[in-house]
Structure 1
């Protein structure tokens, strides 16, 4: 393994680069009210990092409306989130600085998200299209996160060995996807707590993370599991 620099850096979007999970929360609670119900905190948390289809199943079950038609809800939710995204998204701490540093270092980058292409295009107005060599959206893969397909697809498109890529995630669903893909995983929790997991490097934020730190993860990934797990500042 090349210990000097990652072959590529693969970024999740919602909750990792931008604080968009709160935007989704606003729209989902509004949709529940339109349906005559109230979305529980438990259901909302279960949706974090998941695909649209998975989230809508949880939504219907939580409202006690398993037979509620999905398509009109997806259309309304997508439109609402699109307009909220267009109003601007807030960067997660350290995320913009890390993305600039990775690009300045000449490292290939990918955006790997469960969000659909329409909304990703709106988010890219904040994120910057030029910051990503590849964008893999949730509606462009046959098996979304937690399946490893999204991350393996991104690495393949970049021509980068997945085991030499660093994937950056914030949710249990995303971490499971990245870990199963074979990538080195850096996890920075946002909406949900992440327990220490073998093979996952935990930090409280992306503040202070730079290309040299990402390269160090490739080295520490070769250590024994007991030496490489655990939270850092």
Structure 2
């Protein structure tokens, strides 16, 4: 979600800076980059090490509240091509899951402003035991959609997210945003989602899963962002 569908990373960075500064600490851009794509509880530990004297749960609540305030006032800053791709997939009846390490209340806030009921399910950071790069969130999403993960396409923007998606067995599209992602045989890297369509994702899936496509019991495909 953050950085893949919507450009909320600046909102998170502003919230982190304000929080650390309120405790007399210093929060740099390099510090903020450490948290991109990570689970919120893990991020809270780093903020505590920078002098934030709150529990991990209080830090998560404070940051989430601040980001939600910015979303409410400034709206959703869509990443290029993201809304157009969601719209086409939804129109085609493609089952989709939103897999994010943000809290469910924020994920539902964003999902509610998409303009249509895009996601079959939402798997958020407060719904799993293991944060990305562990694949639990993606495996849970596939199970909820009643599909094998290898028949899914996952779209990610961060290193922990890409690692989680690859570990789940999905066909992975990496669209780097805040942090560079190198080319790899384990995923397909795109500079942007602009121009991405159901047809292009289908072609990518077929190129990555030729053996599975010849199997007579192939389950229904799904796409996750």
Corresponding residue number in structure 1 for 2:218: none
User: Offset at 1:218?
Assistant: 1.5
> Which residue in 2 is equivalent to 1:80?
66
Instruction: Give TM-score scaled by structure 2 length.
Output: 0.87
1:198 deviates by 2.1
User: How far apart are the structure 1 equivalents of 2:58 and 2:201?
Assistant: 42
Corresponding residue to 1:124 among 111, 132, 156:
111
Which runs of structure 2 are paired with 1:53-68 in the superposition (5 Å)?
53-61=41-49, 63=50, 65=51
Aligned residues: 209
- 1:220 and 2:221 correspond: no
Worse overlay, 118-127 or 161-170: 118-127
How far apart are 1:128 and its partner, in Å? 4.3
SS of the equivalent of 1:173 reads: helix
Q: Is it true that 1:136 corresponds to 2:117 in the alignment?
A: no
Name stretches of at least 5 consecutive residues in structure 1 with no aligned partner: 1-12, 224-233
Return structure 1 stretches of 4+ with deviation > 6 angstroms.
none
Q: How does the TM-score come out when normalised to structure 1?
A: 0.85
Contiguous gaps of at least 5 residues in structure 2: 211-225
Higher RCO by CA contacts (8 Å cutoff, separation 6 or greater): 1
Task: Specify the SS of the correspondent of 1:185.
Answer: strand
Match of 1:196 among 169, 183, 193: 183
SS in 2 for 1:166: strand
Q: CA deviation at 1:70?
A: 3.0
SS of residue in 1 equivalent to 2:85: helix
1:179 is matched with: 166
